[in-house]
């Protein structure tokens, strides 16, 4: 199909998890940014922690929900994304969950089936407790370890045998209601203490089985917090964080392995709606968090990078530190303007002043 002014410009939105990003580091507070960039680009690919708002979510055919492991492979040119009408979402529950907490999660799944019409099931409970342990790196970023990752793998393998085409996993996280990290997150914008461990779990399952995957933590209820940061408020609305995961996975694109980009079939030879990595037009990321695999892979392939300085985090991995060329903007609103300019074929330098005259070589 020939390109026109209205053709979408596939855009990657990367907001790394567990590093305290001011925007997108909380309970789905990156959704407004994702909605704006989806409108500007016509096609936005981003990862679950940008989209997941516990009981809150947003469906848009221009938004593609892709777990971080798969997003990295897409950026490297190793797989394509195939939009689907629906996924059959298998539900994997940690055996460590108390009976009442397990029941709450099953009821959320039933609610999504009855109210939203999602295809959910089968349900598998792991054959032993996963034993999630939370840690923090020297930078202050959150991280985690699993006592029994093999229990997750066995459970997910059974889901695949039973016909699941996507995996929603819920593991019991330790309750640490009095911790300073949790209080900082809830009150004044600290680092999400759960996010790093969640990424470990979803990367493990996505990388092993090659299916769309996302995680929701199971926690005991928290006491109400009068000084709650609005960015964390979505997590106070219900008993679980599962609803947004089920909605996101219900239309997550299939992951189509391609081998190396050089050996991948041309776009014209595949399905009309296949989103091929050669079509990526731009990547948008926080200016201090440019060291991730997706951003660096895009940079190696010459894909334009928009670095958003108005989204500070714990890191200072900048374009200058990495020797990358980047279009620097102060906000995601400005980033959306640049995405729209690139989509319309307008040179970004034509939008600034002064505009230097051309000189012969």
Domain boundary among 198, 221, 250: 250
With H, G, I as helix, E, B as strand and everything else as coil, classify residue 127: coil
Asked if residue 359 belongs to a domain, the reply is: no
Tell me the DSSP string of 172-186: EPPP-TT-HHHHHHH
User: Does 129 share its domain with 33?
Assistant: no
User: Does 290 share its domain with 177?
Assistant: no
Residue 213: how many other CB atoms lie within 10 Å: 31
What is the Cα–Cα distance from 122 to 109, expressed in whole angstroms?
11
Q: What is the pLDDT of residue 338?
A: 98
User: Does 125 share its domain with 262?
Assistant: no
User: Does 121 share its domain with 199?
Assistant: yes
What is the Cα–Cα distance from 163 to 121, expressed in whole angstroms?
9
User: Does 133 share its domain with 172?
Assistant: yes
User: Does 156 share its domain with 115?
Assistant: yes
Q: For residue 23, what is the domain's CATH number?
A: 3.40.50
**Domain span at residue 163?**
89-250
Is the CB of residue 290 less than 8 Å from the CB of residue 317?
yes
User: Does 241 share its domain with 94?
Assistant: yes
User: Does 176 share its domain with 65?
Assistant: no
What is the Cα–Cα distance from 361 to 359, expressed in whole angstroms?
6
Q: What is the pLDDT of residue 136?
A: 84
Residue from 174, 152, 47 nearest 92 by CA: 152
Is the CB of residue 106 less than 8 Å from the CB of residue 123?
yes
What is the Cα–Cα distance from 236 to 227, expressed in whole angstroms?
13
User: Does 27 share its domain with 135?
Assistant: no
DSSP tag of 330: S
What is the Cα–Cα distance from 96 to 247, expressed in whole angstroms?
24
Is the CB of residue 229 less than 8 Å from the CB of residue 29?
no
Tally of domains in the chain: 2
Q: Is 143 exposed, middle or buried (0-12, 13-18, 19+ CB in 10 A)?
A: middle
Asked if residue 345 belongs to a domain, the reply is: yes
Domain boundary among 250, 272, 295: 250
Instruction: Please give the structure tokens belonging to residue 341.
Output: 């300019």
Domain boundary among 208, 226, 250: 250
What is the Cα–Cα distance from 201 to 185, expressed in whole angstroms?
21
User: Does 61 share its domain with 100?
Assistant: no
Asked if residue 4 belongs to a domain, the reply is: no
Instruction: Please list the pLDDT of the chain residue by residue as tens digits (361 residues).
Output: 455 556 999 999 999 999 999 999 998 999 999 999 999 999 999 999 999 999 999 999 999 999 999 999 999 999 999 999 999 999 999 999 999 999 999 999 999 999 999 999 999 999 999 999 998 887 888 889 999 999 999 999 999 999 999 999 999 999 875 567 777 877 766 788 888 999 999 999 999 999 999 999 999 887 888 888 899 888 888 889 999 999 999 999 999 999 644 444 444 444 448 999 999 999 999 999 999 999 999 999 999 999 999 999 999 999 999 999 999 999 999 999 999 999 999 999 999 999 999 999 9
């Amino acid at each position: 199909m020939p390109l026109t002014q209205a053709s979408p410009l596939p855009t990657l939105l990367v907001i790394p998890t567990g590093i305290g990003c001011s925007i997108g580091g909380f309970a789905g507070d990156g959704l407004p940014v994702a909605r704006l960039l989806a409108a500007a680009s016509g096609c936005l690919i981003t990862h679950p922690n940008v989209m997941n708002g516990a009981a809150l979510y947003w469906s848009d055919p221009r938004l593609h929900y892709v777990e971080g492991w798969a997003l990295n492979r897409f950026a490297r040119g190793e797989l394509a994304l195939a939009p689907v009408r629906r996924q059959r979402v298998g539900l994997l529950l940690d055996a460590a969950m108390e009976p009442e907490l397990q029941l709450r999660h099953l009821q959320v799944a039933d609610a999504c089936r009855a109210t939203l019409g999602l295809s959910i099931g089968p349900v598998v409970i792991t054959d032993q407790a996963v034993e999630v342990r939370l840690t923090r790196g020297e930078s202050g970023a959150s991280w985690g370890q699993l006592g029994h990752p093999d229990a997750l793998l066995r459970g997910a393998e059974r889901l695949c045998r039973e016909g699941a085409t996507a995996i929603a996993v819920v593991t019991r996280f330790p309750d640490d209601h009095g911790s300073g990290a949790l209080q900082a997150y809830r009150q004044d914008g600290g680092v999400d203490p759960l996010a790093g461990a969640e990424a470990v779990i979803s990367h493990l399952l996505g990388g092993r089985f090659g299916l769309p995957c996302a995680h929701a933590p199971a926690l005991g209820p928290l006491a109400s917090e009068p000084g709650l940061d609005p960015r964390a408020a979505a997590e106070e609305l219900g008993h679980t964080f599962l609803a947004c995961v089920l909605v996101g996975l219900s239309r997550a694109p299939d992951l189509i392995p391609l081998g190396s980009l050089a050996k991948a079939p041309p776009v014209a030879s595949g399905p009309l709606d296949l989103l091929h990595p050669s079509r990526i037009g731009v990547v948008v990321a926080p200016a201090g968090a440019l060291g991730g695999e997706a951003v660096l892979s895009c940079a190696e392939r010459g894909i334009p990078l928009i670095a958003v300085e108005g989204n500070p985090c714990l890191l200072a991995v900048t374009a200058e530190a990495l020797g990358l060329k980047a279009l620097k903007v102060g906000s995601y609103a400005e980033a959306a303007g640049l995405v729209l300019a690139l989509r319309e074929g307008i040179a970004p330098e034509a939008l600034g002043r002064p505009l230097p005259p051309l000189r012969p070589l």
